[in-house]
């Protein structure tokens, strides 16, 4: 998977926004319905040595449905800490607390209505994220005690899908799975209010 650099990411987002605006203005027969929402759930943090850990968190979302079949969404999220134990030199186990400082996603949405109240949807776009690792050193022989922090920032393509259920005319609840980037994916329940 090719990692998008910062400058290329900006160009991709700008091109997607102009494409969305152009399609919305040229297709005036389409009904544009903006919405805001929040989601809560778990981010799955995959690690080759420690397996998969869950960091619980959430996100806010701002989007628009364009007609019955298309949409676009911006989302911003973060997580709490997930602790994993990793052996280091000399067989000493070190605890690493990992959290997602932020996730920012720009997503296109393809919707498939099943009934008046239920629809499936797929998401495809890009995510910029910052992940922070805090390593707690236990203090053993030549290893001094203390905490070391490191972080990674990356941008990558994202994809996922979910199910929406219309509770009232303007209120929707849903559940989804997203693969945000590299070794981070997530599952969540969300609630959206449309205008």
CB 120 within 8 A of CB 111: yes
Confidence label for 154 from pLDDT (cuts 50, 70 and 90): confident
Q: What is the distance between the alpha carbons of residues 44 and 57, in angstroms, rounded to a whole number?
A: 11
The CATH number of whichever domain residue 128 belongs to comes to: 2.40.160.20
Residue 1 lies in a domain: no
Confidence label for 115 from pLDDT (cuts 50, 70 and 90): very high
The average confidence (pLDDT) of the chain is 83
Domain encompassing residue 98: 6-194
Tokens of 81: 């800490």
Lowest mean pLDDT among 34-43, 85-94, 120-129: 85-94
Q: How many CA atoms lie within 13 A of 114 on its CB side?
A: 10
User: Where is pLDDT greater, at 91 or 130?
Assistant: 130
Closest CA to 127 of 79, 181, 73: 181
Reported as a single tens digit per residue, the pLDDT across 21-61 is 555 454 455 689 999 999 999 999 887 666 788 999 999 99
Q: How many structural domains compose the chain?
A: 1
Q: Which pLDDT score, from 0 to 100, does residue 63 have?
A: 96
CB 169 within 8 A of CB 191: no
Q: SS3 for 167? A: coil
Residue 83 lies in a domain: yes
Residue 76 lies in a domain: yes
| pTM summary value | 0.76
Q: Which residues neighbour 194 within 8 Å (Cβ) at sequence distance 6 or greater?
A: 33, 34, 35, 65, 170, 172
Residue 170 lies in a domain: yes
Reported as a single tens digit per residue, the pLDDT across 63-87 is 999 999 999 999 999 999 988 777 6
């Amino acid at each position: 998977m090719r990692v998008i650099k910062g400058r290329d990411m900006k160009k991709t987002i700008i091109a997607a926004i102009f494409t969305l605006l152009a399609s919305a203005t040229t297709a005036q027969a389409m009904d544009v319905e903006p919405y805001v929402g929040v989601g809560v759930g778990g981010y799955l943090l995959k690690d080759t040595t420690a397996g998969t850990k869950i960091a619980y968190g959430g996100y806010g979302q701002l989007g628009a449905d364009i007609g019955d079949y298309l949409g676009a969404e911006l989302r911003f999220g973060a997580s709490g800490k997930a602790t994993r134990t990793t052996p280091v030199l000399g067989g000493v186990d070190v605890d690493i607390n990992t959290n997602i400082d932020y996730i920012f996603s720009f997503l296109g949405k393809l919707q498939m209505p099943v009934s008046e109240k239920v629809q499936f949807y797929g998401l495809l776009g890009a995510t910029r994220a910052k992940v922070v690792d805090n390593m707690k050193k236990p203090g053993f022989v030549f290893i001094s005690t203390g905490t070391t922090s490191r972080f990674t920032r990356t941008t990558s393509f994202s994809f996922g899908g979910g199910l929406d259920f219309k509770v009232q005319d303007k209120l929707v609840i849903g559940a989804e799975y997203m693969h945000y980037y590299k070794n981070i994916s997530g599952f969540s329940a969300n609630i959206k209010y449309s205008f």
